[in-house]
């Protein structure tokens, strides 16, 4: 484990070294240490299994330098990084790589400039930083015990599957530049994302717990929630193909946001002309009830960071306000490229995100922190279901993809768990999992929103770094198509 003080002194020393090198105009040094521990769960009552498949971790540390050089009257920019070396030799090797990799990019203006001071301070959990291997393994077993207790209490002992993982991410970083950036950050997060099934009843439930601190992390609750949800959906009914009013639960809202909305709301997508919101800034793109913003400065939220990987304090970036498209997520490079007289994006989303955490090996791209979805007129889940009268409550969806690209906005997904039919304004029979495919378009969904709940939950989606603080959203006119159930 590398201490934050070591990262701070390494960026300080590195910048001092780089400032004196011939041809260097500006330089930014980023150093990080990351540890990602995953306890992968696999309990199958009818197949020999390990319960915890394997406790595993990935660890890395190093530094990366982004340097601008003067060649003639042109500015060139180059990036280089080294692994497991914070010494002068490491900095020298990074600089050599940056020189080798430099080129003139007319869209690159300058390295990021400092903004006002960050608001989050000392918000990580020291106990997570020093958790032992044994205690980490126990977190996984607590999930399994929570699930199995619930199944056993309901009388279900066979055909049980419990899967998912407990993941612990520890990140430390420091950044310093010749433009005046000088800061550091430490974050911890814990996540349990659990799926439980009674396979011979063809039911599946999901449960989750997300936290920044060990004392508020409840892996056994995630296990219980998943098992409880599976039990509640026994006896599912099928549905005919057609257009239905639906309530998207928190996980589907998070899934659609992670795979459709957020990618379409990045300046990288604008740059590539690959968003259905192209040239729509300032225009109405959804129901007037809808607001979406990103905010990395919320205390206690799993996606929160003190600063970006470019050293900019996190804060609120409004994306959709009262149904109007008002902004995009930006890093420094694209904020400067797209800045004009009427649009001045603040680069609060410049992160070096990889599966390892804050990665010194790559330049800052654009990543969300906490994405908050809310309504101007929020209601309760019961009211939302009452409003729908006859339709479908969709609790979990799967493989949500922009099937014809983000620009067109078509998306498809299958309903796999936690879902119910709505009749006479109430949840009634469960919906049989894996029998319905959603075929619709994000623009239709945004325009046909008829209600948003007050209650929200932090939710993450497999393979996506975003944390969506998701409500439940009722939408009219969603195309649902019948598909084959699994052949058994």
Q: Smaller CB distance to another protein: residue 14 or 298?
A: 14
Q: Smaller CB distance to another protein: residue 131 or 298?
A: 131
Query: How many C-beta atoms lie closer than 10 Å to residue 254's C-beta?
Result: 27
Q: Does 165 bind another protein (CB under 8 A)?
A: yes
- Using the rule CB under 8 A, give the single segment among 49-57, 247-255, 283-291, 340-348 that binds another protein: 49-57
Name residue 375's beta-bridge partners.
290
Output the smallest distance, CB 77 to another protein, in A: 9
Euclidean distance between CA atoms 174 and 183, whole angstroms? 6
Q: Distance between alpha carbon 446 and the CA centroid of its chain, in Å?
A: 20
Residues 435-454 touching another protein, rule: CB under 8 A, are 437, 439, 441
One of 2, 15, 29, 52 touching another protein (CB under 8 A): 52
Q: Smaller CB distance to another protein: residue 289 or 412?
A: 412
Q: Does 38 bind another protein (CB under 8 A)?
A: yes
Residues 255-274 touching another protein, rule: CB under 8 A, are 271-274
Measure Cα distances from 342 to 112, 113, 333, 452 in Å: 20, 20, 18, 31
One of 9, 42, 110, 289 touching another protein (CB under 8 A): 42
Residues 379-398 touching another protein, rule: CB under 8 A, are 398
Q: Does 276 bind another protein (CB under 8 A)?
A: yes
As a three-state string, the secondary structure of 267-305 is HHHHHCCCCCCCCCCCCECCCCCEEEEEECCCCCCCCCC
Output the smallest distance, CB 121 to another protein, in A: 29
Residues 84-123 touching another protein, rule: CB under 8 A, are 84-85, 87, 89-90, 93, 97, 100-101, 103-107
Output the smallest distance, CB 82 to another protein, in A: 5
Residues 310-349 touching another protein, rule: CB under 8 A, are none
Output the smallest distance, CB 291 to another protein, in A: 26
Q: Does 252 bind another protein (CB under 8 A)?
A: no
Say if CB 36 and CB 167 are below 8 A apart: yes
CB burial readout 412-434, b (16+ within 10 A) else e:
bbbbbbbbbbbeeeebeebbbbb
Q: Smaller CB distance to another protein: residue 50 or 216?
A: 50
Euclidean distance between CA atoms 226 and 143, whole angstroms? 10
Q: Does 145 bind another protein (CB under 8 A)?
A: yes
CB-count exposure of residue 274 (10 Å: 0-12, 13-18, 19+): middle
154 phi and psi angles, rounded to 5 deg: -85, 0
The 3-state DSSP class for residue 427 equals strand
């Amino acid at each position: 484990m590398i201490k934050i003080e070591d990262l701070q002194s390494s960026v300080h020393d590195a910048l001092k070294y780089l400032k004196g090198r011939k041809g260097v105009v500006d330089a930014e040094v980023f150093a990080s240490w990351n540890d990602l521990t995953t306890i992968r769960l696999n309990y199958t009552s009818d197949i020999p299994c390990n319960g915890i498949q394997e406790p595993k971790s990935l660890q890395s540390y190093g530094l990366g330098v982004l340097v601008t050089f003067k060649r003639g009257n042109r500015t060139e920019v180059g990036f280089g990084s080294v692994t497991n070396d914070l010494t002068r030799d490491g900095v020298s090797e990074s600089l050599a790589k940056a020189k080798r990799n430099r080129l003139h990019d007319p869209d690159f203006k300058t390295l990021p400039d400092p903004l006002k001071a960050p608001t989050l301070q000392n918000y990580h959990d020291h106990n997570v930083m020093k958790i032992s291997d044994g205690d980490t393994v126990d977190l996984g077993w607590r999930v399994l015990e929570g699930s199995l207790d619930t199944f056993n209490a309901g009388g279900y002992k066979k055909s049980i599957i419990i899967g998912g993982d407990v993941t612990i991410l520890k990140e430390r970083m420091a950044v310093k530049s010749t433009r005046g950036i000088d800061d550091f950050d430490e974050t911890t997060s814990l996540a349990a994302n659990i799926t439980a099934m009674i396979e011979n009843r063809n039911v599946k439930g999901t449960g989750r717990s997300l936290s920044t601190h060990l004392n508020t992390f409840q892996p056994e609750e995630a296990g219980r929630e998943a098992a409880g949800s599976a039990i509640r959906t026994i006896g599912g009914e099928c549905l005919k193909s057609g257009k239905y009013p639906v309530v998207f639960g928190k996980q589907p809202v998070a899934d659609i946001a992670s795979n459709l909305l957020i990618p379409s709301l990045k300046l990288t997508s604008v740059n590539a002309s690959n968003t259905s919101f192209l040239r729509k800034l300032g225009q109405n793109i959804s129901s007037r009830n809808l607001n979406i913003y990103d905010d990395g400065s919320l205390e206690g939220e799993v996606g929160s960071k003190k600063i970006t990987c470019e050293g900019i304090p996190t804060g609120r970036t409004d994306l959709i306000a009262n149904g109007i498209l008002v902004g995009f997520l930006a890093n420094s490079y694209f904020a400067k490229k797209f800045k004009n007289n009427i649009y001045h994006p603040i680069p609060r989303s410049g992160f070096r995100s990889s599966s390892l955490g804050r990665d010194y090996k790559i330049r800052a791209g654009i990543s969300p922190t906490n994405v908050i979805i809310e309504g101007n007129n929020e209601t309760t889940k019961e009211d939302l279901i009452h409003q729908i009268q006859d339709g479908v409550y969709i609790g979990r969806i799967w493989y949500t993809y922009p099937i014809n690209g983000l620009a067109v906005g078509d998306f498809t997904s299958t309903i796999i768990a936690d879902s119910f039919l709505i009749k006479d304004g109430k949840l009634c029979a469960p919906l049989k999992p894996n029998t319905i495919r959603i075929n619709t378009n994000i623009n239709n969904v945004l325009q046909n929103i008829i209600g948003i709940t007050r209650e929200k939950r932090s939710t993450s989606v497999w393979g996506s770094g975003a944390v969506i603080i998701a409500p439940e959203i009722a939408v009219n006119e969603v195309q649902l198509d019948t598909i084959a159930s699994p052949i058994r």
